[in-house]
Structure 1
Amino acid sequence: MPDLHARVTALRAHISETYRLHRRVIRNHRSNVLRQNDDSAAVANEVRGRAEPEKLTAQSYSPATDSLLAWQTQLWGHLLDEGLESRRTDYALALAVLAFRLGGLSADYLDALR
C-alpha cells in the first residue's frame, strides 16, 4: 500500500496548492477592483467562505464489465477480419445475455460465460 499512500499524499498536496492559488487569485481580483473604483465601499466583492460539501458518486471498478467489453471488441474485429459481419446479430444475442448478467453477482456472469 505504499503506492496508495504516495498517491493520496500527492493528491492532498495538489488540492492544497490549487486552493492556495484560487484564494490568491480572489485576493488579487478584489484588490484590483477596490483600487480601480473610487466608491469601493459600495462594491460587494467579498469571499463567501466555505460551502457545504456535496456527495460524490464513485463508479466502482468492474473487471467483469471490462472483460465483456474486451470480448465484444475482439469479436467484432474477428467478424470483420473473416468477412462475417452478417453474423453479428447471432453474437448480439449472446452479448445481451452476458450484459444482463453483469447487473447481478459476478458468479452469475461467470456461470453465463460457461
Structure 2
Amino acid sequence: MASGAPRPHGDPGLQPERTALAWGRTMLALVTASAFFLRWLPAYGPPILMLPAVSGGAALAIYLTQRRRYRARSHGLAGESIEADLSAVLWTAFAGVVLGALGVVVVVTG
C-alpha cells in the first residue's frame, strides 16, 4: 500500500477527486485546442496566435490553481460546508467565449 499524506476527508473517491479530474480534463482540452490553433498559423498568419495564447493562458491558470482548489474542496467536505468555486467556472466560461469570438474574428478577417 502506498504511503502518503492522508486526505482530510478520509475517502479518496469523493467529490474533490472527481472535481480535480474534471479540471484536469478541461486543462488538457485547452492545451489540445492550442495545438489545433497553431496548425492554422500558415493559413491565417500571426493574428491566429491570439487563440493559443488565450487557451494556453487558461490552461496555465487552471494548473496553477488546481492544488488550492482541491485543498479547499477537501477541507470543505471534511467540515461539511462545500461551496462551489464560482469564480473559476466564470473565468473558464469567459475564456471559452473569448476564444470563440477571437476565432470568428480571425477567420472572417483573414
TM-score, normalization by structure 2: 0.35
Structure with the higher fraction of residues in helix conformation: 2
TM-score, normalization by structure 1: 0.34
Larger radius of gyration: 1
